[in-house]
Amino acid sequence: MLKDFEKKKREDKQALSTQIKDLRAQLLAQQQQLLSARLPVIVLIEGWAAAGKGSLIKELISEIDPRFYRVVSPVIIPESSERYPFLYQYNKAIPENGKITFLDSGWMESTVQKFLRHEITKAEYRRRVRQVNEFERQLKNGGYLILKLFLHIDKDEQFERLHSLVESPHTEWRVTGDDLWQHREYKRFTEAYDEFMKKTGDEVPWYILDGSRRKTAVRDSMKLLVERIDRGLAEGRYTGAPYEEKFPLKKMPALSDVDLSPVIDEEDYKKELKRLQSRLSELHNIIYRKKIPVILCYEGWDAAGKGGNIRRVAYPLDPRGFDVQPIASPLPHELNRQFLWRFWTRLPRTGHICIFDRTWYGRVMVERLEGFCSEDDWKRAYNEINEFERMLTDWGAVVLKFWIHIDQDTQLERFTMRQNTPEKQWKITDEDWRNRDKWSQYEVAVDEMLQKTSTKNAPWFIIESNDKKYARIKTLKIIVKALEKACEDHFSQMME
């Protein structure tokens, strides 16, 4: 009997090794297919301390060509990521089309642990859960395959493992205070993990793996990965249908209804400019100290005066605490990722001001009109952008969006002037003229954008800029007012 039992065990073990070998070969073959199908893959591996997340990843990557994957773990995430929104570091880590990112713990661990340690409130916990669901849905809709695994071991098993790590001088240091705390609080962690998985399983399901049997866990996770990729390859790159959440919106006028006649006289301009710039300079000091991030978004017609407007806002700011991000066409490695990626990676740290000279709204303007993305893509983008901006304001950012507005006659005048002024010729290109021909199409797109994305938390302001000086003063006033309010709110929040 025992002999038979032993034989069976040996056979099972042998079979397991063979299965793993086969799966590894399949994974290897899938690499090239992923690349030609341009499918990006994210594998999130969460689980208990000492459950073997690192070893599991080691097995998963062992045959994959390093050109095709990346491993991201908390140790390589810089401390400074604390000064960015919650999902910043995970957004940064998303792979290019055709490649794989393995995450050795991620948005689950960082949320649950902080919550149990009372470093985030219940409200913030709920926000994070919502953000995770939005994040996963946006990636899924953008064609990403996401596989979420939880490597489970029971409390006794964890005890054994921590114990054996501590016993060897080579591995003793690996057991951290956090690990021991988790072990002591095993029950609370169980409940918290459970709750998190329940609340974040709708967009992308969780798979629980038995971490106590290492080889089985390797086989099972590889199997899941191979199947998931096979399915993705068969179905082709997924893009989700437009989805719409009701955000509280600010009512916006149609562009054609905007009165562009306001002007300012030279004397008032000079006086106001000086006053507002000096106030902005003071406020910059305060928001810097209060660590309030500020994001100013500029969009508008060509030659509307964005550049000059931005310079007047930037001038009083301390160059150590702000930057201007000029947004041009995406580079190849940007084009190869979800469309918001290149904006996530450009966010300012807390206390800093970032001025975006053109923004993520390119998605629903130029990309829509030039067919750089599908209809589903740009229709979905309104909601994706609203969610993105809510993540920013949830984080505490002031987000203001300016549409610098002129009429067609004024544009023609300025184009002609640029054409006839040698040192300004570089500012005018054939593309500007081509865009001008599409004025009415753009107007439709801009109107729709203003209606659908002027949320209460991140509103649009139409800036009448036939008179550039009037436009600058109006913009500065809006910024000053918003920053004053943010400083007060921040103060009253602290007093509560």
Residues 6+ apart with CB under 8 A from 74: 104, 105, 109, 110
Question: Which one, 79 or 267, has the nearer CB to a copy of itself?
Answer: 79
Give me the phi and psi of 396, to 5 degrees please: 115, 5
Which residues 170-209 are close enough to bind a copy of itself by CB under 8 A? 170-171, 173-174
If you search the block for the tokens 């993520």, which residue do you land on? 360
- Is there binding between residue 76 and a copy of itself (CB under 8 A)? yes
Among 314, 369, 478, 480, binds a copy of itself (CB under 8 A): 314
Among 240, 242, 321, 330, binds a copy of itself (CB under 8 A): 321
* Total interface residues for a copy of itself by CB under 8 A: 54
- Is there binding between residue 291 and a copy of itself (CB under 8 A)? no
Which residues 248-287 are close enough to bind a copy of itself by CB under 8 A? 282, 285-286
Question: Which one, 73 or 451, has the nearer CB to a copy of itself?
Answer: 73
Q: Which long-range contacts (CB under 8 A, 24 or more apart) does 386-389 make?
A: 386/245, 386/247, 386/452, 386/453, 386/455, 386/458, 387/134, 387/138, 387/245, 388/340, 388/343, 388/360, 389/453, 389/455, 389/457, 389/458
Minimum gap (Å) between residue 71 Cβ and a copy of itself: 4
- Is there binding between residue 73 and a copy of itself (CB under 8 A)? yes
Among 184, 213, 289, 481, binds a copy of itself (CB under 8 A): 289
CA angle 325, 314, 344 (to 5 degrees): 25
Binding mask 409-428 for a copy of itself (x = CB under 8 A): --------------x--x--
Are 332 and 297 spatial neighbours (Cβ–Cβ below 8 Å)?
Answer: no
Which residues 13-32 are close enough to bind a copy of itself by CB under 8 A? 28-29, 32
Among 11, 65, 370, 431, binds a copy of itself (CB under 8 A): 65
Rounded Cα distance, 259 and 315, in Å: 29
Rounded Cα distance, 220 and 209, in Å: 7
- Is there binding between residue 67 and a copy of itself (CB under 8 A)? yes
Helix (H) or strand (E) holding 342: helix 341-344
Among 102, 247, 360, 470, binds a copy of itself (CB under 8 A): 102
The residue range among 352-360, 450-458, 466-474, 488-496 that interacts with a copy of itself, by the rule CB under 8 A, is 352-360
- Is there binding between residue 332 and a copy of itself (CB under 8 A)? yes
Are 396 and 489 spatial neighbours (Cβ–Cβ below 8 Å)?
Answer: no
Token pair of 167 as six digits: 């016993």
Among 34, 71, 120, 287, binds a copy of itself (CB under 8 A): 71
Are 299 and 401 spatial neighbours (Cβ–Cβ below 8 Å)?
Answer: yes
Among 124, 185, 323, 432, binds a copy of itself (CB under 8 A): 323
Question: Which one, 34 or 400, has the nearer CB to a copy of itself?
Answer: 34
The residue range among 12-20, 50-58, 135-143, 180-188 that interacts with a copy of itself, by the rule CB under 8 A, is 50-58
Rounded Cα distance, 327 and 415, in Å: 21
Cα–chain center distance at 183: 33
Burial (CB < 10 A; 0-12, 13-18, 19+), residue 41, is buried
Among 319, 371, 493, 495, binds a copy of itself (CB under 8 A): 319
Cα–chain center distance at 194: 25
Number of H helices, E strands in the chain: 19, 10
CA angle 403, 407, 413 (to 5 degrees): 120
Question: Which one, 53 or 368, has the nearer CB to a copy of itself?
Answer: 53
| Residues forming the site for a copy of itself (CB under 8 A) | 28-29, 32, 54, 57-58, 61-63, 65-67, 70-71, 73, 75-76, 78-80, 102, 104, 170-171, 173-174, 282, 285-286, 289, 307, 310-311, 314-315, 317-321, 323-326, 328, 331-333, 349, 352, 355, 357, 423, 426
